[in-house]
Amino acid sequence: MRRRFVIAGTDTGVGKTVFSAALVGALSAFYWKPVQAGLAEETDSQTVLRLSGLDSTHVLPEAWRLAAPVSPHLAAQLEGVVIDPDQLSPPDCDGALVIETAGGLMTPLTSSHLTIDVLARWKIPAILCTRTSLGTINHSLLSIEALRRRGVPIHGVAFVGDEDAGAQAAIAELGRVRALGRLPYLPELTPQSLRQAFVRCFRLADFREECAE
């Protein structure tokens, strides 16, 4: 079985897409966004294509593309469609696969299914992207607890933002998770700056190992 990761987040806007682009680029992996809600701005797949330094064959088509930039269940309602979470399954590809979820773990896909319900079925190791700013300990520990309760293996936590050594240590210790590293805010986001930051701040070997949990 080829390496697969789910890139989950404590929230929307925490840096999942930027981290995914860095990881996909570093591993020459494939990227898949199962549900894209919001098509007017650059989509996450387009961002990953722009920032990973890889060609478009590394970005697999989304299962659902919904126009409104809102929770997937609402975006689907607006289009008169219903996402079938049981039909969502990771595509085959010729290498490692990085899957970015929409929003946070409890973002709804339908009026009765959450994103985390799909992760509980897949059991693919999750990397939790989390901010370093104030409030992150609470959001991170809640997310870790929710993943554990559903038997989702946690590969580790990837911090995004300015260093907060106290908060980062608290999350790793209280959450009993591996801190994979911290991606700083980059004033200029380019494939080059992102690749350099990833190499500096993470150990590639950590993403080649099997999940500890």
Cα 30 to Cα 67: distance, rounded to the nearest angstrom: 24
Residue 13 binds which entry of ligand ADP, Mg ion, none, CB below 5-8 Å type-dependent: ligand ADP
Query: CB-wise, 17 or 52, nearer to Mg ion?
Result: 17
Residue 9 binds which entry of ligand ADP, Mg ion, none, CB below 5-8 Å type-dependent: ligand ADP
Residue 48 binds which entry of ligand ADP, Mg ion, none, CB below 5-8 Å type-dependent: none
Q: Which of 3, 16, 58, 155 binds Mg ion (CB under 5 A)?
A: 16
For the packed helices 44-52 and 16-27, what is the interaxial angle rounded to 10 degrees? 40
Amino acid, single-letter form, for residue 211: C
Give just the sign of the alpha carbon dihedral 35, 82, 142, 104.
positive
Q: Does 9 bind ligand ADP (CB under 6 A)?
A: yes
Cα 147 to Cα 37: distance, rounded to the nearest angstrom: 23
Q: Does 192 bind ligand ADP (CB under 6 A)?
A: no
Interface with Mg ion by CB under 5 A: which range of 15-23, 134-142, 180-188, 192-200? 15-23
Cα–Cα distances in Å, from 179 out to 109, 125, 152, 209? 29, 14, 17, 14
Q: Does 175 bind ligand ADP (CB under 6 A)?
A: no
Q: Of 33, 73, 131, 182, which is the active-site residue? A: 33
Q: Which of 63, 70, 189, 211 binds ligand ADP (CB under 6 A)?
A: 189
Residue owning tokens 């773990």: 105
- 23 and 207 in contact (C-beta within 8 Å)? yes
Residues forming the site for ligand ADP (CB under 6 A): 9, 12-18, 160, 183, 185-186, 189
Active site residues: 33
